[in-house]
Amino acid sequence: MNSEPDWVAQAQRFQQDLAGHWTQALQSFQLAAPGAGVNLPQLSFSPDKLGALQQAYVKEATELWNQALQGKPVTQDRRFAGDAWSQNPVSAFSAAVYLLNARTLLGLAEAADTDAKTKARLRFAVEQWMAASAPSNFLALNAEAQKKAVETKGESIAKGVQNLLADIQQGHVSMTDESAFEVGRNVATTEGAVVFENELFQLIEYKPLTKQVHEKPFLVVPPCINKFYILDLQPDNSLLRYLVEQGHRTFVVSWRNPDASLEDKTWDDYIGDAAIKAIETVQEITGQKKINALGFCVGGTILGTALAVLAARGEKPVASATFLTTLLDFTDTGVLDIFIDENMVKFREMQMGKGGMLKGQDLASTFSFLRPNDLVWNYVVGNYLKGETPPPFDLLYWNSDSTNLPGPFYAWYLRNTYLENNLVKPGKVKVCGEKVDLSNVDIPVYIYGSREDHIVPIGGAYASVKHLPGKKRFVMGASGHIAGVINPPSKNKRSYWTNDKLAKDIDEWTKGAKEHPGSWWTDWSAWLKPHAGKMIPAPKSVGKGTKFKAIEPAPGRYVKVKA
């Protein structure tokens, strides 16, 4: 059995036609927004790069064929690492060929002579295509799913169909056993009460856990594209509970999940009637002129904008601010940049700039497909092909609990941050009638970024130091957007880096940074303490008088509304 010449000839023909087929495919693939009516970029490929790709492809294809003849194609990819794959020659060979083609297509995208943004879009398109077409996603080729079907006498297939129908009904792929969790029962359980609400948010105050509290209260502004309880999943990993345990009188904004009644709300509304209103309400409840505040992700962008508006009015009610994985400067937005251009933003402005709603599931799907193998196809295979129920996991339950966004808010945000980066251009935009100038936000700030963050790249998080004039501390944590932030000291996991000398960019800062084992929370707590004021007796109850009496127990009803 020796048909190697036929295989090599097929490989050569495949490689020779690949560039032409790829270019034709791109001409039918709209890289810009639908309906934008723009010309796609013209692609060309360097003959030298194509020649090198062809040689590499033929060489690897020959090696693969020889391995197949010996009955042992080799792959290290965890999607195909199970014994069932290695024991099934057809499945093993299909996986190896797939990985070879995937590498070649990615190499072809890299070989394209085009601008950086188009190349990033090509790379993203290839990654999505290859993730979706993996042999593991199809029962006819997935050796593990086939083996399980035989062992269970078809029950796994029947269960997979049930899972598929259930997910179709709920509108998203299940990442965890959602029946295992209930907000207020076993997630978001830190004790407190809603002490204020309007149409945009509820303000929750938490019950003190210490006999004395710091004089200056603490306000947390979470992202409005997610629910606040990522900061209060379980008692042992709750950042909100940690604040309370450290003696801070703690408040958090719980955003309302918008419905049709809020479809005309704007960025100005979220700044004036939410962030600034929350600051003023905390001041009034506690009787303190100065508070400390934290913004997480988009919540940090909202907080930073609100502080700039207040500064333009001559008001500085916040003594210190903490920004967690926050973009104020949108020069470096990472992979999300591939979605943003003038035509895409114009399309969204026409679609919902004057009213409408961005559905939470649309936004959740976008973020999931940034990591398609981990957050999409992994669950397609497990849920539907193998008939498995994913195990309970509080973080993934939260991740599936999506929120809507008002169209005008979203359209303004896209244009003025991701597209035009206007927040760092002094006086470029007006919010709540005031010109935004971050150089007026002259207060101490603690800025945290996660090293492997794919939503707020570490360089983007670091860029805030250029625009905030007060005394600054920047800290880098290990892991990603969520896992890096939710890293309590009690777990003694991961590490963080500090460097008291700020540099021109994150690369230079990192060169001089010192690594510390464990959680960055302890570093932040030590930084925050001198900004929090003296210790005073803890209040005996939450709220204040009849105006700010407890409306309902935490976590309140707003956070329980489904998109």
Beta bridge partners of 218: 250, 292
Q: Does 26 score more than 70 pLDDT?
A: no
Which pLDDT does position 6 carry in this prediction? 52
User: Using one digit for the tens of pLDDT, what is the confidence trace for 389-441?
Assistant: 999 999 999 999 999 999 999 999 999 999 999 999 999 999 999 999 999 99
Which pLDDT does position 91 carry in this prediction? 87
Q: Dihedral (C-alpha) 113, 114, 116, 119: value to the nearest 10 degrees? A: -80
Which pLDDT does position 89 carry in this prediction? 84
Which pLDDT does position 53 carry in this prediction? 87
Going by C-alpha positions, the residue among 456, 218, 202 that lies closest to residue 329 is 456
Which pLDDT does position 23 carry in this prediction? 45
Residue 92 confidence class, pLDDT cut points 50, 70, 90: confident
Decide if 297 is catalytic.
yes
Cβ atoms of residues 276 and 432 within 8 Å: yes
Q: Does 102 score more than 60 pLDDT?
A: yes
Which pLDDT does position 22 carry in this prediction? 43
Among left, alpha and beta (phi > 0; psi -120 to 50; other), residue 179 is alpha
* Sign of the torsion angle spanned by Cα atoms 95, 100, 106, 108: negative
Q: Does 213 score more than 90 pLDDT?
A: yes
Residue 41 confidence class, pLDDT cut points 50, 70, 90: low
Going by C-alpha positions, the residue among 367, 354, 443, 435 that lies closest to residue 398 is 367
Which pLDDT does position 309 carry in this prediction? 98
SS3 537: strand
**Distance, CA of 53 to CA of 424 (rounded, Å):** 43
**Distance, CA of 316 to CA of 469 (rounded, Å):** 14
Task: Provide mean pLDDT across the span 209-238.
Answer: 97
**Distance, CA of 536 to CA of 288 (rounded, Å):** 12
User: Using one digit for the tens of pLDDT, what is the confidence trace for 442-495?
Assistant: 999 999 999 999 999 999 999 999 999 999 999 999 999 999 999 999 999 999
Which pLDDT does position 51 carry in this prediction? 86
Q: Which of 96, 188, 231, 297 is the catalytic position? A: 297
Architecture of domain 192-346+423-560: 3-Layer(aba) Sandwich (3.40)
* Lowest-pLDDT choice from 170-174, 231-235, 545-549: 170-174
Residue 2 confidence class, pLDDT cut points 50, 70, 90: very low
Cβ atoms of residues 217 and 280 within 8 Å: no
pTM, whole model, 2 decimals?
Answer: 0.90
User: Using one digit for the tens of pLDDT, what is the confidence trace for 243-294?
Assistant: 999 999 999 999 999 999 999 999 999 999 999 999 999 999 999 999 999 9
**Considering the chain, what is the average pLDDT of its residues?**
91
**Distance, CA of 472 to CA of 461 (rounded, Å):** 13
Domain boundaries, the chain: 4-151, 192-346+423-560
Residue 74 confidence class, pLDDT cut points 50, 70, 90: low
Cβ atoms of residues 316 and 309 within 8 Å: no
Q: Name every residue whose Cβ is closer than 8 Å to that of residue 313 and which is 6 or more positions away in sequence.
A: 434
Q: How many angstroms separate the Cα of 73 from the Cα of each of 61, 70, 134, 372?
A: 11, 8, 16, 25
Q: Name every residue whose Cβ is closer than 8 Å to that of residue 20 and which is 6 or more positions away in sequence.
A: none
Q: Does 39 score more than 70 pLDDT?
A: no
Q: How far is CA 507 from the centre of its chain?
A: 22
Structure tokens at 448: 């945290």
55 burial class (0-12, 13-18, 19+ CB within 10 angstroms)? exposed
Percentage of the chain beyond pLDDT 70 is 91
Residue with tokens 């295989």: 7
Structure tokens at 435: 């010109």
Task: Provide mean pLDDT across the span 514-518.
Answer: 97
Task: Provide mean pLDDT across the span 316-320.
Answer: 98
